[in-house]
Structure formats: C-alpha cells, structure tokens
Amino acid sequence: MKMASSKWIFTIALFVIVAAVLPNVAEAQRGRPGRPGRPGQGNQGAADCPQICPALYSPVCVTLTNGSKMSFSNSCELNVAVCTKRVPGVRSQQPGDC
C-alpha cells in the first residue's frame, strides 16, 4: 500500500511540474503577444524569457548566421538562448548533436 501511495505522490508532483513548465515553453516557441518580430528571434526582453525548461534530452544542432554550429540539449534550451540573445542568430536547425 505504501508503494502505491508513493507512486501517486510522484505522479501528482510530476503533473504539477509539467503544468508549470509547459506555458513557458509555448511562449518561447511562439513569442509573446504584443511583441514585434518573429518568435524565437530575440524579440523579447530577458525578463520575458522562460526560465525553466524540461529536463528532456532531445538534442538540437543549430547553424548560426556566422557559419558556426552549436548544440543544445533540447529546443527549449535553444529558444531560451535566442530569447536572451546569447545566440547571435540562427540560420538553420536540425535534430541531433552537431
């Protein structure tokens, strides 16, 4: 009985975490209303950028406008980097490590 209770607590905690993170991921992917420019192109202030990404490893390789390549652990991490302008400009992206 104790094991079943622990599973329910874990499931509820996981649901709460996912519910808290998903809106931030969606905002990073589509941009915020009232902000000019294309989503994911650094059109938000750093305070408007998502602060938390899911701990999901699904690597993304991006080619920057200067020709160099960078890997990110997932698309949310890439979106945060673009949003906070830590990445100068993304020309293309593809799944997997660079």
Task: Please give the Cα distance from 38 to 58 (Å, whole number).
Answer: 24
Q: Which of 5-14, 18-27, 80-89 has the lowest mean pLDDT?
A: 18-27
Domains and CATH numbers, the chain: 52-97 (3.30.60)
Question: Residue 38 in contact with residue 82, Cβ under 8 Å?
Answer: no
Determine the length of the chain: 98
**One-letter amino acid of 43:** N
**For residue 75, how many other CB atoms are within 10 A of its CB?**
20
What pLDDT digit, counting tens, does each position of 17-70 carry?
A: 666 655 655 555 555 444 444 444 444 455 678 778 998 999 999 998 888 999
* pTM greater than the 0.85 cutoff: no
